A and B are shown apart, each in its own frame.
Chain A
Amino acid sequence: MFIAIHRTFFFWFTGILLAAALGAIFYFGLPVGIDFAGGSLMQVQYPNGRPALAAVEQEVSTVPLGPVSVRASGSDAVSIRTATLTPEEHTAVLAALSHNASTTELSYTSVGPSLGAQFTSKALWAIFAVVLAIVLFIAFAFRKVSRPVPSWVYGLTVIVILVHDLVIPAGFFAIFAHFTGAEVDSLFVTALLALLGYSVNDTIIIFDRVREHLAVNEKTGTKEDFETTVGKSISETMTRSINTSLTVVLALAVLVILGAAATRTFALVMLVGVIAGTYSSVLLAAPLLIPLSRYFTKK
């Protein structure tokens, strides 16, 4: 009941968090990686010790390529981002790098600008499609529940939740990227899409309980305040909301600490997203039904 009673506090708290995340996104920006913008990215290892980044940049710039960005990667490697390279230019850069030191190329990715643009539009559509499909599905799944709030209000509430679950990890990523040089890549989009599907799970658990209570009340003719029903549903499902997320959080934490470097940022974004998703389900989704029900009963 605690949450249902103090919902205004949580609404404000969520609002401040969302504002902070949006602020981070607009202030720091989301740096776009080569998957979207096109370009080439190579990771080169210096087994005998990494030279100064400026020196590496100097060597790369002996090949005329336009702007070059060199970053440290791991303890003995650098990652070099340039505009889309031709195979010849790529070979020339490698030759320039191994001029003074022995180097090993760990990985190389090159994406043409048109492919990047296509992926951007596809990714945005995919996010839109997932949100729409989930909202419609929730509205459908709760179609038999019409009192005191119509079934589509459950879907509407889920939109708010999904936007929250997208903005919080994106805001986190903006701050994270600002300090580490990470970039928005296809895995980041994958994380967001998987989160959209997963984070509504907890919301469904609570809504499902509300649905069950409403059905039982109707059958037995029990009159119960909607606020009480929602509050009861939240506290009854609290343990399972936390435990279902906790197991995923454990798996993600292991992946961040021990997993492959290629998926570390991905796992971190998902970790933040799963926590944000649980928070939004318990403290935002169900409590939001209460003011909405007031609005509909007044009419």
Chain B
Amino acid sequence: MTRYRVFALVALLAGILLAYFVWGTQANPYSNYRFKLGLDLAGGTELVYKADMASTSPSERAGALSALQGVIERRVNLFGVAEPLVQTETASALTGQTEDRLIVDLPGVTNVQAAVDALGKTPTLDFELVASSTAAGASSTPQFVLTGLTGRYLSGATLAFGSGATAGLAAPQVEIQFDSTGAALFEKITSENVGKQLAIFLDGQPISAPVIKEAIPGGKATITGNFTATEARDLAQNLNFGALPVPISLESSSSVGPTLGGAAVAAGVVAGLVAFAIIALFMLAWYRFPGLVAAVALAEYLALMLAVIKLIPITLTASGIAGLIISTGMAVDANVLIFERTKEELRKGESPREAVHIGFGRAWTAIRDGHLTMIISGIILFWLGTSIVQGFALVFLLGVLASFISAVSVSRVYLLAFVPETAGKAWHFLLSSGFRKS
């Protein structure tokens, strides 16, 4: 008994500490552990792009995708958004076809078009060899061969004015500098293909195809085309923010204004508090003393859930809040099973303390099997993807695990800390259940 009283005190203190952590970090506006609100609550825009990997070899896909992410991240930061998030996702549909996606979250941005325009200015750049130098037959379309040299190896671009031989004026052009990998690749390509044409593709269009005269070390190249000075300047600027290794296309977008999100947060908080109060009252009224224990364990469960959500951190969405509230109702399920079983044992004539022990032991298999089926559906839900579904699935899964812990250990410790070996009428009343006096 003394041992359980010590455990109970520890459990209570742990709960209070967790609650203090949740409250304290939320009250401090500069804390790193404030709740992260999803775009549907905080307001903002989510853009999902599909990366066109048709001309990328499978082994290079992962690299191209992370290069893509880097470039878009730089772009997004330029857009001036607080805490933007750029994620990649490789979705393998069951048809066997994989699709690489880029998910861009822009909190606070509600103008979809402005966001799309800002990101869409990112140019794609790649270099392709002209296979058949069709010098004679000018009308036949040339064949292009991929070289693997793309915008991802770019380190910088500058505007320059070449000495145009034919034009009287100096023609504006863009000088690009490759990074070390790109420079090595460029040197290799040029040394192996002297005499051939190397076409420069910008946004999928060949803009020039100079003939390789000799191997070019050092990783410098010049893009010439019929640029105006402004066009060349913009191109150099855009290339400096990064050129995309593969083209992207907008697949889906969603934006939520700040009013709707704010209302959802307020409704979530109210619904959560009311749901907790009603469930705690019901447990107290029906199960009496064990009900009180369940209510305290439920409060600790909530503190644990909120603390874990802050620590991981899990981004809260409207569906996640719904999941949390529903899980409050589910979290007492194990308690109900245990208390009912305890009551049965008590009726059979067991001593109160023994009844609690047996109650926990016998209810265990049903609790275990029931929780496992919920975990199964939670995992498959998470696999289903999309942020709305995953927001719910994560909270649901966590809730199942946390309720496991709170019901099986926390309420057990509390009950065993108080329920005496032998009991008079008072304890019999407190351990019975129902709204009547029996």
Chain A residues with a Cβ under 8 A of chain B: 35, 43, 45, 86-88, 90-91, 104-112, 114-115, 118-119, 121-123, 125-126, 129-130, 133-134, 137-138, 141, 186-187, 189-190, 193-194, 196-198, 200-201, 204-205, 208-209, 211-212, 236-237, 239-240, 243-244, 246-252, 254-255, 257-263, 266-267, 270
A193 to B381, CA, bound (A): 7
Q: Using CB atoms, name the residue of chain B closest to A116.
A: B252
Known: A121-B93, A259-B267. A126 touches B252 (CB 8 A): no
Contacts of B374 in A (CB 8 A): 197-198, 201
Contacts of B110 in A (CB 8 A): 105
Q: Does B377 contact A (CB under 8 A)?
A: yes
Q: How far is the CB of A30 from chain B (nearest CB, A)?
A: 18
Q: Does B362 contact A (CB under 8 A)?
A: yes
Contacts of B328 in A (CB 8 A): 251
A134 to B373, CA, bound (A): 6
Known: A118-B91, A248-B329. A193 touches B252 (CB 8 A): no
With most chain A CB atoms within 10 A of its CB, the pick from B95, B259, B264, B267 is: B267
Whether A193 lies near B340 (C-beta < 8 A) is: no
With most chain A CB atoms within 10 A of its CB, the pick from B377, B378, B386 is: B377
Whether A270 lies near B326 (C-beta < 8 A) is: yes
Chain B residues with a Cβ under 8 A of chain A: 40, 48, 50, 91, 93-95, 99, 110, 112-113, 116-117, 250-257, 259-260, 263-265, 267-268, 270-271, 274-275, 278-279, 282-283, 286, 318-319, 321-322, 325-326, 328-330, 332-333, 336-337, 340, 344, 362, 365-366, 369-370, 372-378, 380-381, 383-386, 388-389, 392-393, 396, 433
Whether A197 lies near B383 (C-beta < 8 A) is: no
Q: How far is the CB of B274 from chain A (nearest CB, A)?
A: 5
Contacts of B99 in A (CB 8 A): 118
Contacts of B369 in A (CB 8 A): 137-138, 141, 204, 208
Contacts of B377 in A (CB 8 A): 130, 133-134, 193-194, 196-198
CB < 8 Å: which of A90, A106, A122 contacts B113?
A90
A106 to B283, CA, bound (A): 40
Contacts of A45 in B (CB 8 A): 259
A110 to B95, CA, bound (A): 24
The 7 residue pairs across chains A and B that have the minimum distance between CB atoms? A197-B377, A251-B329, A248-B329, A260-B264, A109-B254, A208-B366, A87-B113
